[in-house]
Structure 1
Amino acid sequence: MLNHGIGTWVNRRAQRMREDSAIAFRDRRIGYEELDERILRLADALRTRGVRAGDRVAYLGNNHPSFLESLFATTMLGAIFVPLNTRLAPPEIEFAVDNSGATTLIFQDVLLDLARAGTWSTSAQRRICVGGDDIPGVEDYDAVVASGADEYVDVPVTLDDAALILYTSGTTGYPKGAVLTHGNLTWNTFNALVDYGIGSGERVLLISPMFHVASLGMGALPILLQGGTVILHERFDPGEVLHAIQSEQVTMLSGVPTTYQLIEEHPDWATTDLSSLRHLTCGGSSMPKRMLEAYEQRGLHFSCGYGMTETSPGATAMPPHMSMEKMGSSGLKQFFTDVKIVGPEGGMLPPGDVGEILVSGPNVISEYWRRPEATAEAIVDGWLHTGDLGYLDEDGYLFIVDRLKDMIISGGENIYSAEVEGAIMQIPEISAVALIGVPDPKWGEVPLAVATLDEGAHLTAADVIARLDGRLAKYKIPRDVVFVDELPRTASGKIRKGDLREQYAR
C-alpha cells in the first residue's frame, strides 16, 4: 500500500475480522467488512466528484456512522477532514468552512437549518445530506455511497500529511485551525493503547461528540485500530448511558466530570450492572474527591488526563490505581510524549515550582492552518506552549494550577475570554468588559461578564445575552452580566481579572 495513513485502518482490520462488529448505532450493527465496503464506495464517489489529495471535506453532524465513514473515506484519498462543532453559531460555522477552504460539505438532515445558515454562501458548494433527500442542490448521502465502486483507492499518504483540521476557540477572537497529521493521530493512538491498556474486543461508548478530538482520538480511533466496537450515542443522557453499559457490555467510557456526576446521580446508578467497565477516562478538569469515592465504591477507577486539540489530544494520563493517592493530578506524561515546566525566561523549573506547561512529541501538531504567526508563537523548538500553568511533583505527576489564556472550561467545552469579550464589545453601549469563569454545580464553571457602560447608556443583562444569541455558541454566552462603574486595572491599564474572580467567583 502507498497509503500509510489512518484512512487504511478499517480496510486493514476488515481483512482480519470481517464479521466482527465495528459500530453499534441505535438498533444497527455494522461489521468491519460492511464498514470497509461503505468507506471504499464513499471514497470512490468523492473522487469521482473531484475530491483529491489535499482538498478539504467538512462534516456537520452528531455522532453517527456517517461521521466515521466520511473521516476514513476522506483520508483514504489523502484529503483533509474538517469536523464542525454543531453547537457553533452560523457565523462561526461559516468562518471555519471558508478558512479551511472546504469544497465539499457532508451534513445531517437534522442540521439542515444550521447548514443553510452557516455554509450555503461558503466555499463548500458540493453538498451531501445524511438522511435527507429532495433538497435542491444537495445529494443524498446513501445514494452517493451506492454510486461508488467497491474498490480500494491507493493514494500515496505519509504520516506527515494533514488528516484533520480542528478549529479551536481563538484567544484573539478568531478560531485557529489545528492541523493534525496522520502521524499525530497514529502516535496519539499508540499513547492511548499503552497508557490505558486498550486491547482487542473492547467496547467503547462514545457519549461526547466526535467533532471533539478527545472522543475521536482517545475513543474511536484506538478502539477501531484494535478491532473493537464503537457504540455511538447521538447525545448524552445519563439513563441511556447506564442502560447501554449493562446491555452492550461496555468496557470503556470517556467523559468530563459533569457527565460522570450526572451518571452517578441518576436513579438507575445503584441497580445497574457496571461489572463490564474496565476503563474510565476523564478530561476537562480534575475529578472531585466525592466522585472518585462514589465510583471506587463500585470498583471503578479513573484515569484522568490533560491535553488539548493541539496534542491530538493526549499529553498526560493518570494510572488508575493512583487516582486517589495523586488526587488532583492529571497524571504522568504519556508514553510517547514529553512534558516540562518552564519559567518566564524559558528555563526548566524543578519539581514543585509553578510555570508554563510545555508539551512535545509526535502527537503534537506542527502548525495552525494558514496562521504562521500563531504557529510561531505557540510552537518553539518543537515544544508546544500550552498557555497553562502547573507544576510537576517529585514523581513526575502534573498538577494544573491556572490558565494563562483565561480559558473557561464549561461542561468540557473550551471558552476563550477574548473571543467572547470581542463579541460583547461590538455592542455600542458597552465601554469595557471582562469575562471570567464562576463555579457552577452542574457545568463546573460558566462564563460571567463584568462590564461598564458608556455614559448615559442603559442596558440590562438580558439585553446583552439577547444580542449575542445567534452570534456565539450558546455555551459561550455569559450566564449573567454584571454592570459596574469601573473595572479594576493595573498601572498599565490591563484589567485585573484576579480581583474580579475574588469578588464574583465564589
Structure 2
Amino acid sequence: MRDLGIGSWPARRTKNGAHRPAIVFGDRVDTYADVERRTRQLANALRAAGVGRGDRVAYVGFNHPALLETFFATAQLGAVWVIVNARLAPAEVEYILTDSGARAVVFGSEHAGHAAQLLHLESVETWVAVGGAAAGTAAAGAPGALDYEAFLAAGGTDVIDEPVTWDDPVMIMYTSGTTGRPKGATHTHGSLTFQYFQALIDTDFTRDEVMLAVAPLFHVAGLNTMTMPTFLKGGRIIVQPAFRPETVLATVAAERVTSIFAVPAMMDALAAHPDFPGTDLSSLRNVLVGGSPLPDRMLRTWADRGVAIQQGFGMTETAPGIFLLLAEDSFRKAGSAGRPHFWVEGKVVRPDGTEVAPGEIGEVVAQGPNVMQGYWNLPDATAAAVVDGWYHTGDLATVDDDGYVWIKDRLKDMFISGGENVYPAEVENALLDVPGVAEAAVIGVPHPRWGEVGHAYVVLAEGADVTPGSIVAALAGRLARYKIPQDVVVVDRLPRTATGKLQKHLIRTTYEGNAR
C-alpha cells in the first residue's frame, strides 16, 4: 500500500480478523470486513462528489458508526476530516464550516434542523444525512441533502490507495480560544497515530478488548484515548449515541465491557444510579477519566466495587495525551494529573522556560509527535502556542518530589462544565451582542453535578430594558446550552486594570457572594 495513513486501517485490519466484530450499534454488528467495504464505498462516493486530496469533509452529529466511517473514508482520499461538536448552536456550526471551507457535510438525524438553516453555505457542495434524517434522497427538514446509505451504496467498490504519509493533515478539531473565536487544531496522520501508539503502550489493551464508546466521539478524548486504539488493536467497539446510566451499566454487565472513557460527571451519575450496587463490573480493566480531577470519594466508591480508575490530562492540541495517572497510583496520588505519556515530554516551566522546583507553580508545556501541526489558517496563533516545538497549554501546575504533576489553575480562564470546555471570552462576546448589555464578564464556579458552571456579571447600557432572564433567553440558539451561564447578575461596574483588562480575581471576591 502507498497509503500509510489512518484511512488504510480498515483494509489493514482485514489481514487478520476480517470477520471479527468491529463496531456494534444497537442490533447492528459490523465486522472489520464490513467496515472496510463500507468505508471504501463511502470514499468512492465522496470522490465522485468532487472531494479530493486536501479537501475538507465535516461530520456533525452524535455517536454513530457513520462518524467513524466518515473519518476513515475521508482519510483514504487524502482529504481532511472536520469533526464538529454536536452540541453547538447553528451559528457556531456555520462558523466552523465556513472557516474550514468544508466541501461536504455529513450530519446526524438530530441535526436536520441545523442543516436546513445552513444549506445556503456556498462552500458546501454536498450534504449527506445519516440515520433517519433523510427520506428517499432528500433529507427531512433539509431539502437537497442526500440519504447516507443510498449515497454510500452508489459509491462503487474501487480500491483507493492514495500516497498518504504521516505528515499529511487528516483532522481538524475546533477548540475555542481566549479570543472567543474557535480555532481549528489540525492533526496529521502521524500525530494521531502516535497518540494511539502511546495509548496502547500506557494502557492494557488486548485483542479481545470490548470498548464502550459512550463519551462523545466529537471530543478528542472520546475519540482518541480508547475508541481508535481499540480499532487499531482489533477489538470490539460498542457505540452508544447518548449517555444513559442504566443503559451503560446494563451494557457493561451483559457485554463484559473491558474499557470505557468517561468524564467525572458520568462516573458520578453511574455511581448514583440504583442499579450500580448490583451491576457486575468485574470485566472492567481500563477505566480512564478526564476533563477534571475525580474526587477522592468517587475513587473510593469505584474501588469498593473493584474498579481502579486512571486519570488523564491533555488537550485537543496534543491529541490529547500529555499526562496519565495510572490506576496503581490512583489513591497514593489522588488528584494528580500523573506523569508524562510514553512519547511525550511534559514539564512545568517558569516564564523564562526553566523547569520549576518541586512545589513551585509554573505553566504546563508539552513536546512530542502527537502535538498538532498548527491551528487552521492561523499562523500567528500557532506561533504563540507552539514555541520552539513546545506547546504551551496555558495551565498552571506544580510538580512533586516524585515527578507527578498537579494542575492548579488555568491561565486562559477556561472552565469545564459536564466535561465540556467553556471559554469565558466566547460567552462574553455573545453577551455583548445582546441589546442592552454594555459590559460582561464570565467566570466558572463549582457545581455539585456539572463540576463547574458559568456565572456572568453584566453592566447594562443606560436606559436598557433587559433582565437577567431575558439575557439568558437571548443566548439560546446562539450558544450551546452548556455554555450559557447558569446565573446572570447585573452590577454597576466591573473591575478593570488601567489598560481596561478585566480583573477576574476581583470579580470573584467582590461579586460571587451576590450570585443568586
- Normalised to the residue count of structure 1, the TM-score between the two structures is 0.98
**2:271 aligned with 1:264:** yes
Distance, in Å, in 1 between the alignment partners of 2:50 and 2:65 is 23
Task: Find the counterpart in structure 1 of residue 114 from structure 2.
Answer: 114
Secondary structure of residue in 2 paired with 1:178: strand
Distance, in Å, in 2 between the alignment partners of 1:97 and 1:485 is 39
Alignment of 1:163-312 (within 5 A): 163-312=170-319
Tell me by how many angstroms 1:149 deviates: 2.6
Q: 2:505 aligns with which of 474, 498, 506?
A: 498
1:94 and 1:119 in contact (8 A); partners too: no
Aligned residue type for 1:249: R
1:60 and 1:115 in contact (8 A); partners too: no
Q: 1:419 aligns with which of 397, 419, 426?
A: 426
Tell me by how many angstroms 1:469 deviates: 1.0
Tell me by how many angstroms 1:316 deviates: 0.7
Distance, in Å, in 2 between the alignment partners of 1:317 and 1:271 is 30
Distance, in Å, in 2 between the alignment partners of 1:492 and 1:114 is 40
Aligned residue type for 1:19: H
1:340 and 1:348 in contact (8 A); partners too: yes
Task: Find the counterpart in structure 1 of residue 85 from structure 2.
Answer: 85
Distance, in Å, in 2 between the alignment partners of 1:10 and 1:330 is 34
Task: Find the counterpart in structure 2 of residue 46 from structure 1.
Answer: 46
1:438 and 1:501 in contact (8 A); partners too: no
Alignment of 1:312-331 (within 5 A): 312-331=319-338
Distance, in Å, in 2 between the alignment partners of 1:240 and 1:393 is 40
Distance 1:252 1:505, change over 3 A: farther
> 1:52-105 CA deviation, whole Å, 9 max, x = no partner?
110100111111111111110110111111111111111110110011111111
Q: 2:458 aligns with which of 451, 455, 465?
A: 451
Q: 1:350 aligns with which of 349, 354, 357?
A: 357
Secondary structure of residue in 2 paired with 1:434: strand
Distance, in Å, in 2 between the alignment partners of 1:504 and 1:315 is 35
Tell me by how many angstroms 1:191 deviates: 1.1
> 1:350-402 CA deviation, whole Å, 9 max, x = no partner?
22211111011000012100011110110110000111111121211111000
Aligned CA-pair RMSD: 1.3
User: What is the aligned-residue identity percentage?
Assistant: 47
Bigger mean CA deviation after superposition, 496-505 or 188-197: 496-505
Distance 1:261 1:505, change over 3 A: farther
Distance 1:464 1:22, change over 3 A: same
Tell me by how many angstroms 1:28 deviates: 1.1
Bigger mean CA deviation after superposition, 304-313 or 122-131: 122-131
Distance, in Å, in 2 between the alignment partners of 1:129 and 1:439 is 39
Count of aligned positions: 506
Distance, in Å, in 2 between the alignment partners of 1:153 and 1:430 is 54
Tell me by how many angstroms 1:29 deviates: 0.9
Task: Find the counterpart in structure 2 of residue 389 from structure 1.
Answer: 396
Aligned residue type for 1:11: A
Secondary structure of residue in 2 paired with 1:424: helix
Distance, in Å, in 1 between the alignment partners of 2:207 and 2:349 is 39
Q: 2:373 aligns with which of 363, 366, 370?
A: 366
1:452 and 1:486 in contact (8 A); partners too: yes
> 1:137-169 CA deviation, whole Å, 9 max, x = no partner?
222211122112333210011101111000111
Tell me by how many angstroms 1:170 deviates: 2.7
Aligned residue type for 1:467: A
Secondary structure of residue in 1 paired with 2:299: helix
Q: 1:133 aligns with which of 119, 122, 135?
A: 135
Secondary structure of residue in 2 paired with 1:222: helix
Task: Find the counterpart in structure 2 of residue 436 from structure 1.
Answer: 443
Return 5+ residue gaps in structure 1 as ranges.
none
Secondary structure of residue in 2 paired with 1:346: coil
Distance, in Å, in 1 between the alignment partners of 2:454 and 2:175 is 17
Aligned residue type for 1:456: G
- Normalised to the residue count of structure 2, the TM-score between the two structures is 0.96
Secondary structure of residue in 2 paired with 1:179: strand
Q: 1:476 aligns with which of 457, 479, 483?
A: 483
**2:4 aligned with 1:4:** yes
Return 5+ residue gaps in structure 2 as ranges.
none
Secondary structure of residue in 1 paired with 2:135: coil
1:97 and 1:119 in contact (8 A); partners too: no
Secondary structure of residue in 1 paired with 2:332: coil
